[in-house]
Amino acid sequence: MTSDEAERKMQFLFALRSRGVTDKRVLNAMEKIDRGAFVTGLFAERAYEDMPLPIPCGQTISQPSVVGLMTQALEVQPRDKVLEVGTGSGYQAAILSQLGRRVYTLERHRRLVQGAEAVFSQLRLTNITAIVADGSYGYPEQAPFDRILVSAAAEDPPGPLLAQLRPGGIMVLPVGQSDAVQHLIRVRRTETGYEYDELRSVRFVPLVEGLGQE
Ligand code: SAH
């Protein structure tokens, strides 16, 4: 690592901490997974800034501090089977792969799945499976999940995702209309029902029905 790279990494981690990402395991994962590997083209040099950036198919890679806060709220345990909806660049899935046992990530654009898979193999992340699918229906083949993280905003938590959460499990997702303020919420499934708490306001691309064109 050059001293420039080391400096950049320190600033990246400092920004995360100052925005409330304090969990040691999450910070370690974010130190280890190079966000620069997931951003290509014009914006690559801004990969270490705390801002969302454009990726192909008109989508965005989320802001690192939001990735950190969502991951922290998910409280992933080493034996957990995790579902992500909205692979995008694959960055969030890569972070989750450091914390849980196995990650399944669903994306409606084939091109994004292929791009993410290429980075996963380049970084030798072997416990992630990326699948082209409409994530609103979850992934019944592997349900139930210990943890579910949704990276696109729905108006309400999708029923199939609630159903695929194991009792004792946690789901973190943005809810609200795509052109308005959305709220990040955490859902805990208990033996008898679901408990909700609201974390903060956020802005995500919408959860869209069906598969994408490319
Ligand atoms: N977690 C991503 C952020 C991607 S933005 C990252 O770290 O880069 C949200 C993604 O959700 C977009 O790529 C979008 O195509 C995808 N998406 C939207 N609706 C979806 C759906 N119904 N099923 C699967 N993916 C969906």
Task: Report pLDDT digits (tens) over 33-42.
Answer: 999 999 988 8
CA 24 centroid distance within chain: 18
Q: Can you read off the two tokens belonging to residue 140?
A: 């019944």
pLDDT bin (cut points 50, 70, 90) of residue 206 is very high
Cα-Cα end-to-end distance for the chain: 36
Closest among 91, 31, 33, 34 to 62, alpha carbons compared: 91
Q: How far is the CA of 2 from the centre of ligand 1 (A)?
A: 33
The proportion of the chain whose per-residue pLDDT surpasses 70, expressed as a percent, equals 100
Residue with the two structure tokens 């914006």: 43
pLDDT tier for residue 103 given thresholds of 50, 70 and 90: very high
Whole-angstrom distance, CA of residue 204 vs CA of residue 129: 23
The one-letter amino acid at 12: F
Give the model's confidence band at 112: pLDDT under 50 very low, under 70 low, under 90 confident, else very high: very high
pLDDT at 57: 94
pLDDT above 80: residue 157: yes
What pLDDT is attached to residue 177? 86
pLDDT of 213: 87
114-122 long-range Cβ contacts below 8 angstroms, 24+ apart:
115/55, 115/56, 115/89, 115/90, 116/38, 116/87, 116/88, 116/89, 116/90, 117/90, 119/37, 119/38, 119/89, 119/90, 119/94, 120/90, 120/93, 120/94, 122/37
Q: What does the pLDDT read at residue 19?
A: 96
**Is pLDDT of 198 > 90?**
yes
Question: Which residue out of 205, 211, 214 has the highest number of ligand 1 atoms within 8 Å of its CB and is therefore the one to mutate?
Answer: 205
Work out the angle between the directed axes of helices 91-99 and 110-122 (0-180°, nearest 10).
50
Percent of the chain with pLDDT over 90: 89
> For residue 116, what are its two tokens?
């993410």
Point out the residues that are catalytic: 62
Pocket of ligand 1, candidates 53, 84, 108: which has the most ligand atoms within 8 Å of its Cβ, to mutate? 108
**pLDDT value of position 62:** 95
Predicted local distance difference test score (pLDDT) of residue 179: 78
- Whether pLDDT at 180 is above 90: no
Q: For ligand 1, is residue 85 a contact (CB within 6 Å)? A: yes
Of 187, 212, 183, the closest CA to residue 106 belongs to 212
User: 144 burial class (0-12, 13-18, 19+ CB within 10 angstroms)?
Assistant: middle
Q: Are 193 and 172 in contact (CB under 8 A)?
A: no
* 42-92: pLDDT as tens digits: 898 899 999 999 999 999 999 999 999 999 999 999 999 999 999 999 999
**Does residue 147 have its Cβ closer than 6 Å to ligand 1?**
no
> Which pLDDT score is estimated for 6?
86
Number of residues that make up the chain: 214
**Alpha carbons 18 and 15: distance in angstroms, whole number:** 5
Q: Inform me whether the pLDDT recorded for 1 exceeds 80.
A: no
Q: Is the CB of 62 under 6 A from ligand 1?
A: yes
- CA 40, 42, 46 angle in degrees (round to 5)? 80
pLDDT above 90: residue 2:
no
**Averaged pLDDT for residues 184-206:** 95
> pLDDT averaged over the chain?
95
